[in-house]
A and B are shown apart, each in its own frame.
Chain A
Amino acid sequence: MRRAPEPHSRSSLLARLDTPLWRGVLIAAALAVSGAFLLETFYFLRDATLPQWLLALLAIAWGVGGVMLLFTLASYLVEQFPATWKRRLIPILFVGPAVAVVVGYLALPTLRTLIASFYDANGQQFVGLANYVYAFSSREMLISFRNNFFFWLTFGTSFSLILGLIVAVMADRTHPVFEKIVKAIIFMPMAISMVGASVIWKFVYEFRPAGAPQIGLLNALVTAMGGDPTPWLLRQPWNNLFLVFIFVWLQTGFAMVVFSAAIKNVPADILEAGRIDGANEVQVFFHITLPTIKGTVLTVGTTIVLGTLKIFDVVQSMTGGNYGTQVIANVQYTQMFRQFNFGRASAVAIVLLLVVLPIMLYNLRDFSKRTEAF
């Protein structure tokens, strides 16, 4: 009689607490407490004077453990909700962190850049559209627009695509061993960084006055054939094409490899049907192969177009934007890191973003049409 009520009352207390509502409240409290705890340990670790390696280990444990702890508690919390809410909340739980990262590292900086583009060099005085006037009317930017759109986009993209396509088609028809060798050689520049390629090509275009030993490959050839050495990087507007060629040298391999894979996927029976119907090889290529790999060509094309519009490394390391070879991204860099004109740099960055955005959207839309990923 005496002993019976005690376990009963304890279990009833727990039982009363063991409702979804109470559990939710408790877990939410635990969530808040662990958040606060993680914040405190962050400050502790930041100010701690521990050996570097120990600090690194603790920081990793803090990061990984913290994320696991928060995520586990949050998912318990969601579990306590009624089924309809649970269905609504679970996706947020999974996508939320990714969205937060994108907002924090992409959307907010973009917004911040947009705001900075309306302020002066130090970001202190509102100057309205002055930076955009610069971005659309200064000689530097006008030259950049010409170079980016005419030389880089037009020639850079078309040369990369056409050369890549030609090599892919031709290599496909040769002996497999030969095909592998050719593709390996053409693909090799892809392994070189743009700056590395610029170093190589600087030696190709190097100019020494007539009479001096020519250490540049091109001028050595020219003088060997009795010509006068030419300052390739100085001759406007052709010097832009010489820079574009470096980019083409790097990108052709990329286009070729993707095209080659696509060409090998063109159904053999269709090709054969075409040939039986009397089409010659050129007709087969233009009426069967090309239409079949059209999607691939568009994807590769837009990727390269994006590359040409954002081109920076080659110009910065070859000419520094001098001699009429300036491009938009290099103006942005120069304004930001050489001139410290945050306003102008931001305005140029926004202009570059606006230029690139439509192509990116087209790329995504085109991609989603074929794969329904978006």
Chain B
Amino acid sequence: MGKASQLFKTDLKGLDRLIKKLRSDGYVVYGPVKRGRSWFFLEIDSVKQVDLNYVRTVLPPKKLLHPPREKLFEFKLGDGFEVSEKPMPPTVALFGVHPCDLKAIERQDEFFSQTPEDPYYLARRRNALIIGLTCTRVDENCFCLSRGTGPEVSTGFDILITDVGNGYLLEPGSAKGLELLKSLGFQEVGDEYLEAKQKLIEELKKSFTKQMPPEGLAELAKSMLEHEVWKETAERCLSCGNCSLVCPTCYCFDVYDVLELNLRSGVRVRELDSCQLLEYAEVALGGNFRRNRFQRLRHWMLCKFGVAGGGLYSSCVGCGRCIVYCPANIDLTEVASRLRGGG
């Protein structure tokens, strides 16, 4: 897609009109809302509810595209069975998605598009509208810069919003986005706004402290399966699975059937799962190929380093969530630097 050909500018009121327009177009709009000391993607109807200066939400926008729990189909038992697929839930618009999360959505898009396609994810995704938001600040756990996943972003959004000080720069990233911007009659502006945006981003880059460069990490980790860092780190791990739950690129799910009390009908559902949990790799008769905690922690980190099954698609985009929400203060960037021979 590259650089947008047309640029627009608006103020807070304009952003509010954008949200209202999306709602009147039938979207359920979600944006980053502050509750206590954390941010959450919640349904919004006005820009006033949104914190445009947020750092990261607890759960990534994944919760709206690859939900924690969803029905795959309903069935009726009796003489054999019948299956009926359910219509898709309402279309969502995600307002204010940061670059790392945009990148994670792109990876999930590609992952779920592999043959055979995942019809549930893709239907929801095709209908969704995504409005990105350039970060205004980073904290000590952000490391998108070193992952190449932010703070600049050129794809993965329909519209990208950047606070340029004297208003909001709006860049269309898709035909749908451009049409929206035009329909709202926002003021067209010139390339000098891109320069202003670039200056802000260059300034922002100076505040990153954490890093985990991808270069060679996958190969290195795979060649160091016996390194003591795995067992040492696993001694602290509680196998709670928080890290997967909050990770925007973790896609794993469990599938199970739920029968109604009448035992005649039921649903098959899928629910997000984590390879950090003991049951994840359990097979019949109590077998388990990742019975030890260090094996599960190692598998999860290998995945985030890009060497487990999901490859690049499930690898880390540097959002920092797993570090912030780990009850044992486990930090994958520290494991990576130990593998690289530091410390």
* Chains A and B are bound partners: no
